[in-house]
């Protein structure tokens, strides 16, 4: 009874983070939902052995390993990967009053998604864990099994690469519109 209650509390607390992280790694809602289910099932099976202090790191590390396994399986099958169009945000821009502002915001969000997926997996993982999920350096290091200094370097590289990719995208857009 206590195990079931603890499991429900943990699921409620962490399922959204698991889903968001899986969604960014797998680029597909259905696959991210499957990954979330699988990770929660693994949580149920391993709950008695998991140290409560490290639960979030364990969940996100398990999510990452599961997603990487799925990506490897995809590449072995040589099946195309279809990316959902609303990968990072499910909600419309409620702050835009003018439809042209909403369209511009939507276009910028689509470009940002595309650019994010051009990052190597290790940089994308660190960036998403820090910027989207709000983990601290120590938590990211525990989740990914890398030193804290590597987390800092990967985050810096991700930001630098995103900045460069965004700059190239803007230059290309201006060239095409002229």
38-48 pLDDT, tens digit per residue, is 999 999 999 88
Q: If pLDDT is split at 50, 70 and 90, which confidence band does 71 have?
A: confident
**Is domain 1-79 given the CATH code 2.20.130.10 in the classification?**
no
Close Cβ partners of 132 (under 8 Å, ≥ 6 residues apart):
20, 21, 24, 88
pLDDT surpassing 80 at residue 80: no
Q: If pLDDT is split at 50, 70 and 90, which confidence band does 172 have?
A: low
DSSP state of 119: S
Kindly write down the DSSP assignment for every residue of 130-166, as one continuous string.
Answer: IIIS---HHHHHHHHT--HHHHHHHHHHHHHHHHHHH
Q: If pLDDT is split at 50, 70 and 90, which confidence band does 15 have?
A: very high
Helix axes 148-177, 137-144, angle to 10 degrees: 100
Ramachandran class of 2: left when φ > 0, alpha when ψ lies in -120 to 50, beta otherwise: alpha
Q: Where are the domains of the chain?
A: 1-79, 100-178
Percent of the chain with pLDDT over 70: 75
Q: What is the pLDDT of residue 175?
A: 59
pLDDT surpassing 90 at residue 93: no
Count CB atoms within 10 A of the CB of residue 3: 10
pLDDT surpassing 60 at residue 73: yes
CATH of region 100-178: 1.10.10.10
CA distance 16 to 93: 20
Q: What is the pLDDT of residue 66?
A: 95
Q: What percent of the residues of the chain are helix, what percent strand, and what percent coil, each to the nearest 5?
A: 80, 0, 20
Please provide the average confidence, as pLDDT, over all residues in the chain: 81
pLDDT surpassing 50 at residue 120: yes
Buried b / exposed e over 79-104, threshold 16 CB at 10 Å, is eeeeebeebeeeeeeeeeeeeeeeee
Q: What is the pLDDT of residue 176?
A: 58
Q: What is the pLDDT of residue 96?
A: 45
């Amino acid at each position: 009874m206590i195990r079931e209650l603890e499991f429900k509390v943990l699921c409620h607390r962490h399922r959204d983070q698991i889903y968001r992280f899986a969604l960014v790694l797998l680029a597909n809602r259905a696959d991210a939902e499957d990954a979330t289910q699988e990770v929660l099932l693994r949580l149920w099976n391993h709950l008695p052995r998991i140290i409560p202090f490290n639960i979030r790191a364990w969940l996100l590390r398990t999510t990452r390993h599961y997603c990487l396994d799925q990506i490897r399986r995809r590449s072995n099958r040589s099946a195309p990967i279809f990316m959902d169009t609303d990968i990072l945000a499910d909600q419309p821009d409620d702050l835009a009053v003018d439809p042209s502002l909403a369209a511009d915001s939507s276009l910028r969000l689509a470009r940002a998604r595309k650019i994010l997926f051009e990052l190597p997996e290790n940089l994308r993982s660190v960036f998403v864990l820090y910027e989207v999920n709000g983990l601290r350096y120590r938590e990211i290091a525990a989740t990914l099994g890398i030193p804290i200094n590597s987390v800092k370097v990967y985050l810096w590289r991700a930001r630098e690469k995103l900045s460069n990719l965004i700059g190239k995208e803007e230059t290309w857009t201006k060239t095409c519109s002229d």
